[in-house]
Structure 1
């Protein structure tokens, strides 16, 4: 897969931006058979036979419905009819909402009815796994295939696993484990990993081959010096309907290793190492979608359009069709990491 080059005048519009360029490796996952000897998403791992397979014992979140008394629903409907504007609460509604929250209890996420049925409150509550749940293999990345993959302690292989349930520890979603390895050390391998329970099918990836491609991208605007940030704001305000914004032009979408993080959803957040509080490095972006703007639509090596370009090739759905970013600390010997979801 080949990403089209930047428009000829793109960098010229932002004098000084070129010095902030940083490489990233777009992974371009595409469905297909994979083996443990390859870099991939959703395939078998080169796992040592004498090493226990990771499990998750963190409580996972379970959806529950709590019936609401008919008389409380009637009072709520009556209060809603007293609104002078559709989205402005009437007198007494705040108190009714508090009453519902008390009745439903911790973990309230809303209330409503389905197909004309009774009104119920919705909540998520933590529940322990009956037994430690075996994790799912998410990705295996080899340094020889992925040029921007860090190599802490001389490692040349990264394996990423997660528990396919919702959890409230860290960002809402799966718990994650990383394994950094040296491929020459892997000889006697596990034949078949254990299989656990699945709470969210969107956390079970389809096996995908990777087509790594190194590109250059540039920082999210809030990470730029003040003068460049102001210029980006000005240019974005001038964008017409068919024009691409700064982020659309300079930041790669989809699964990638390295590069810069896009903070469009939350604005810039700190990403300190959870162990030493020092800086971390964006190592992997696990994205729901590969589909960016025209700037990032890949072509095949022969220059023809990628007719098989799928929107969500891995079947992974993160949050509300967003992305999970893994930031690692390369200073601490045990390579701690931080998760962020956008």
Structure 2
């Protein structure tokens, strides 16, 4: 079933034309629990991994694991095919992006690694991957199928201060008259997504490329949830809206399968933001994290 974000309840660019210059396209991935295969785009599903490529490991020290446990295999997080998400900046000769991570704390979050692959050189998953002993349950995603949807992002934290100051009175007036907050309901799309703006919960920390010194591009966000207690009114998909009552009237497990299908949690409802430099030939990547 497709997932459809409701149209914004007001015309953002008519009310606040100053933000139009900062609009960006983003792809909400809408993971939902399912049984993806290695040739499907997925979150937490099996990967189309080349037989000739050794499965990646983390050889950092993991204090919570018994001494001598050795290197830890990474776990699959995201697999995105160009056919499903062509908006990704695939390097020439590749058509699959794979994100794996070490499911232990590395500065309060798992340690992600990115791989760009050519699906024609991949023959299927090597084997079922045992989960590392002692891994953080919150960092082990349940297998989910994806439902990519294109929507528009407007900046929240990334709105320039001088523009925010100009718009402050108008933001307040519109919220008082309509009940819709620019910051919570009208700006940045929630959830796991590609492109657009990171869904910062604190002030932005945009990384610079260590190679060329330029600011890196936001590649994708992996969030703890599709929406929160305030943003659900505009970011809950139409197909998941209850016939009666609100999402918060559903039994907890039913709501969790809509709000946080992969079962991930980073700090206090935080997000992991991955960045890449498209100027450098080796496509360096990095990540940041924040939470409430």
TM-score, with normalisation over the residues of structure 2? 0.84
Measured after TM superposition, the shift of residue 167 of structure 1 is 1.6
Alignment match, 1:164? 103
Whether 2:27 is the aligned partner of 1:25: answer yes
Coordinate RMSD, CA, aligned: 2.8
The number of equivalent residue pairs is 274
Q: Which runs of 5+ in 1 are unaligned?
A: 63-125
Alignment match, 2:38? 36
Q: How does 1:132-211 map to 2 (within 5 A)?
A: 132-168=71-107, 172-187=108-123, 189-193=125-129, 195-211=131-147
Alignment match, 2:222? 286
> CA-to-partner distance for each residue in 1:271-321, whole Å, 9 max, x for gaps?
2123332221111111111123311121239xx899976121110111222
Alignment match, 1:45? 47
Q: Which runs of 5+ in 2 are unaligned?
A: none
Q: Which has the larger radius of gyration?
A: 1
Alignment match, 1:337? 285
Whether 2:177 is the aligned partner of 1:229: answer no
C-alpha distance in 1, partners of 2:93/2:210? 22
Measured after TM superposition, the shift of residue 195 of structure 1 is 4.1
Alignment match, 2:11? 9
Is 2:194–2:220's contact at 8 Å kept on the other side of the alignment?
yes
Q: How does 1:252-331 map to 2 (within 5 A)?
A: 252-265=189-202, 267-291=203-227, 292-300=231-239, 310-331=258-279
C-alpha distance in 1, partners of 2:98/2:189? 23
Distance 1:246 1:147, change over 3 A: farther
* DSSP-derived class of the 2:220 partner: strand
